[in-house]
Structure 1
C-alpha cells in the first residue's frame, strides 16, 4: 500500500498510526509537493462491512464544510483503487500528548490559552451541528515552536455507524460512553475538561488501579496537585468532569468562560453570549430623520475574526495586520495596499498594489513607525508585543478596545 497514489493526487509514504478500522498516512500531493495526512479504511473492515466505506466518505465530505483556524479540516474525500480515503493538511508540529510526555505539565496560563483555543474550535464544530467525538491529547497538534493547538482526526462517523471493533474509548472519553449511551455535546465538554486537567497535572482526573472501574470514585481535586490554582478554575473543572452529564456545563463556551476566565480573565470575553438579533425598529419621527446615505457609499464596520493570531486565508502563517474594511487577519503575502492601507483580496479595489512579503514589517519588530505610533498586539503564541503601526492600519473595532495609553 505505501507508494500508492490515490485519486492521481495523494502518494502514501509512511504509516503514522493504525486503529481497528483505519490507517493514518503521511502522504504527498504529487501535484503541489505539499505534505498531507491521509486516512484510509482498512480493506478488511470494508470487506466485513460493505456499507462502511461509503458512509465514511459521505461523513468526511460533510465535515469538509467545517472551516476554522483551529481545525485541520478535511480537504478531500473519496474512493480510489478500492480504498476509501480522506485527506487533510499535514500540520508541522507535535501532538499535545507528545508535548506532555517530553516536557511535563504546562503552566496554568499556558493551559488556559490552549483550552480557550480548543473551546473556540469546538464551539464552531457544535454550531454547525457536528460533534468531535474523538477529542484526546493525541488529536491535538501544536504548531512547531508554539502552543497554538489544531484539532485533528474527527470521529466523523455517527455512533449508529460505529462497529464494535471501532468503539475504543480513550483516556479522555466520558463515562457514559462506556455504558453505551449516545455521544453528545456534553461528552465533548467532558473530554475538553479531561485534557485541561491532564495539561495542568500530567495525570488523568479519575484515578484507578489496573482492572478497576475508572469512574467508581470522584475525580481528583485540581488543588491537591496545584495548591495555588484558582478555586473557580477547580470548580469549573469538577463540573465539566462530572460523571453524570446532567451536572456538566450546557455548552463548551460556558465551560471556557468559567475555567479559562478564572485563570486569565481576558479570555472570558472570547466566549460572551452571542448578542440577540436587533428588534424591528419603529418608523423614525421627523426629528430623528437625517440625510440618507446612498447604499453604494455605506460601509459596514470591520468584523472581528477569532483566528488565534493566524492569517485568515493561510492558517499556517502568522498574521501581520488586518484588512481595514472587513477586519480579516492577514499575513504579508495576503496584504494589498490602497493608499498605504492594508486590504484583503475580497476588499481590493481596482488598481490597488499587493504588498510583497519583502516590504512587510515583521510582526516581531520593536521599532517605532515613522508616524510615531505603536500598539500592543497578541502574536500567534499569545505573547504581547509592541509593534509599529499607524492608526489607519487597525480596524475601528480593534482601536476602540485599546486603552488610550497604548496609542
Structure 2
C-alpha cells in the first residue's frame, strides 16, 4: 500500500480516465464501477455507484493478478476487517469487501476534496498554529485506532484526505495491525510496509512496530507542515532509511528561524529515535499538541519550562561504550610501593663512644631509634604528578587540540576553502544537495557544523547547494497513458489525472498534451495532468425529414459531417426545398463521414388543357380527370341550361399541381 491509492481529493468529480477496462463493470451485482480517481502500486480506486443503497462510494480494486497471491489477498481482506472496526469522524469509513471472480475489492466512503500533500504544496511552510490545527484531527483518528488496538503503519500526507467542506479524514488503514499481532522483518522473510520518508527507526531495524511508530510518522508530517520539507532526504530509499536510524530529525527552526523553542521540542519528542522517549501513543501526543497550541494562542514566543518538559531526555551512554582512559593507572600504582632495606645503625654507649653491632655477636639489644617515614611524601608527590598529568592530558585531548569550525555558509567553494585553511582546517567537498533558499554553488551546510568543535588540522566536509530542485515536464504527446505515468515518475514528478479529449487525428488512448506544458520547471512531486485522446467525437444524428434542406446541411457541416444529395423528387406532402428522405436518419456518425439528403421539388405541376370552353361538360370532365385533376362543376351566373363549359378555374394554360381541383362553370 505504498501508494497514493486514496488520493481521492482533488480528483473526484472530474472527467474519468479513458481506456480503463474495469470501468463499467458490475461487481457482485451491486457496485457499478465508474471512472478511476487514484492509482497505486497495489490497487486502484474508482468512483462507483452502490445500486442497492443508491449512493456513490469509492471502490479500491486490487490490480489484476495480485488477487491470485494468497498473501496479498489475505492482507487485503484483513484491511477491510481492521478498518471496519473503526468508527470515527476522522477515519474514512469502510463499507464492504468482496471477491468477484478474482477481482478483490474494498468499498469505502467517498471523500470529495484533496489530500494533505496538495495542502502542503500550496501552503507550507505553515505557521505553527495552522500546522497543529491540521495535525490535530489526524492525531484524533490515530488515538481512536490506538485505543482499539490498531496501528496504521503508513501515516503520510497522501493518506490524509481533506474534504471540500473542511473535514479531515485518515485513509488506508490497510496496513493496520493488531498491536498484539506478530510482524516479520524483511530479513526474515517478512515485508517492510510503509513509506520510507515517514518510517520509524524500529521499523527499519527490525520491522516491528507499535503505536509509537505512528507517533514518529505524525512528527515527521508536523516537521513537513512547518518547513515544507521532509526532514531526511537521500538519493535512494536506503539512504533515507539509514538517516532515520542514525540521524535525529533536525529542529524545524533550522529551516524556519523564529519558531518557538517548545515547537522544536514537540517535534523532537515525537520523532525521538529511541521510541521509549516518544509519547506512548497518539492520545499522549494529542495532549501535548493541545498544550503547545494553547501556548501559541497566548502569544508565548519562548517557554523554557515547557520546552524542557517536552524535549526528549538524553540517553545515557553505557560504561562499556565509553572511550578507554589514555593513561594506564595500573602501572602507575606499582610505583607507589616503597623499597625495603636493612641498615646498620651506630648505637652510642653511656660514654658517648660508638659501638658497632656485628652479625653473630650477642651484645645487649640496641634500643630502636624512631625515624621519619618517607612513604607519605612520596605518595603525595606521585598523586600530585598524576593529577597534573591527567589535567594536562584532559586539556590536550579535550580542548587544546580542538578548534571551532568557522562559518562558511553562503560562500563559494573557493572562499570557503580559504577560510577553513586560514583556521588550520582542510576542506572536503561532500555530495551537493538541493536548496530552496541557498543559491547554486554556495555552501549549504558543513560537517561539523559552524561553531562545533573539530580537531586542529582536521577536515570539514562542505556541502554545496545545487540550487532549487526543479524538474522539467517531459514530452508526453504520442505516449500511452501508462507510458506517460512512467515518464512523469522518472522526472520525480507525480501523475495527476488523465482528462479525455476528442481528437479526429490522434488515436484513442494516446496523450495529446500535458498541463503544465512540456519543458515547464516544477518542484519535485508536483502534479502533471495529461490530456488523452478519446478518438473522434461521435455525433448523434438528427432526423431532418420534412424540414428545410439548407438548415439540415448547415447543421451537419458544423459537426464535420459531409452532406451528399440524391436526385430531387416531386412531393405532394413536402414543400419545395424540404428534405424528403435522409440516410442515415438516426444513430451515430463521426467527423468525415457523410449523410445523404433527398430534396423535394415540391408537387408536380400539370398544365390545364385548352379547348375546354364550349365543350360538353362530360367530355371536359373526362379529359381533366385523365390528367389527374379533381373536377367540380358549377353553374355560372349566366347559366341558361345549355350544359356547355362557359369558363374554367384555373384557366386553360395555367400550371397547377397534379391533383389540384379544376372548377367548370356551365352556361
TM-score by length of 1: 0.59
Question: CA 1:266–1:122 in 2, change beyond 3 Å: closer, same or farther?
Answer: farther
* Bigger Rg, which one: 2
The residue that corresponds to 2:63 in the other structure is 42
Deviations 1:221-257 (A, max 9, x none): 1222333322222112111112222221112122222
The residue that corresponds to 2:49 in the other structure is 28
SS at 1:110 equivalent: helix
The residue that corresponds to 1:199 in the other structure is 225
- Supply the distance in 1 between the matched residues of 2:108 and 2:185 (Cα, whole angstroms): 22
- Supply the distance in 1 between the matched residues of 2:252 and 2:278 (Cα, whole angstroms): 17
SS at 2:197 equivalent: coil
- Supply the distance in 2 between the matched residues of 1:40 and 1:191 (Cα, whole angstroms): 26
The answer to which structure, 1 or 2, has the higher relative contact order (CA under 8 A, 6+ apart) is 1
Deviation at 1:42, TM superposition (A): 2.3
Deviations 1:270-298 (A, max 9, x none): xxxxxxxxxxxxxxxxxxxxxxxxxxxxx
The residue that corresponds to 1:247 in the other structure is 277
Deviation at 1:54, TM superposition (A): 4.0
Q: Which moved more, 1:253-262 or 1:134-143?
A: 253-262
Equivalent runs, 1:117-132 vs 2, <5 Å: 117-132=137-152
Determine if contact 2:95/2:107 at 8 Å carries over to the other structure.
yes
Deviation at 1:189, TM superposition (A): 0.4
SS at 2:114 equivalent: strand
Higher strand share: 2
Equivalent position to 1:173, from 174, 179, 199: 199
SS at 1:71 equivalent: coil
Question: CA 1:265–1:23 in 2, change beyond 3 Å: closer, same or farther?
Answer: same
Equivalent position to 2:173, from 129, 145, 154: 154
- Supply the distance in 1 between the matched residues of 2:75 and 2:255 (Cα, whole angstroms): 44
- Supply the distance in 1 between the matched residues of 2:141 and 2:276 (Cα, whole angstroms): 23
Equivalent runs, 1:221-370 vs 2, <5 Å: 221-265=251-295
The residue that corresponds to 1:336 in the other structure is none
SS at 1:155 equivalent: helix
Q: Does 1:140 align with 2:140?
A: no
Q: Which moved more, 1:68-77 or 1:8-17?
A: 8-17
Q: Which moved more, 1:175-184 or 1:72-81?
A: 175-184
Structure 1 spans left out of the alignment, 5+ residues? 268-407
SS at 2:162 equivalent: strand
Q: Which moved more, 1:79-88 or 1:153-162?
A: 153-162
Q: Does 1:101 align with 2:131?
A: no
Q: Does 1:72 align with 2:101?
A: no
The residue that corresponds to 1:333 in the other structure is none
Equivalent position to 2:249, from 212, 219, 232: 219
Deviation at 1:194, TM superposition (A): 0.9
Determine if contact 1:16/1:24 at 8 Å carries over to the other structure.
yes
Deviations 1:130-185 (A, max 9, x none): 11122100010112153x31111113464459987783534222222223421211
Q: CA RMSD in A?
A: 2.7
Determine if contact 1:11/1:29 at 8 Å carries over to the other structure.
yes
Q: Does 1:182 align with 2:208?
A: yes
Equivalent position to 1:52, from 67, 72, 77: 72
Deviation at 1:43, TM superposition (A): 2.9
Deviation at 1:7, TM superposition (A): 2.4
Deviation at 1:264, TM superposition (A): 2.9
TM-score by length of 2: 0.37
The residue that corresponds to 1:392 in the other structure is none
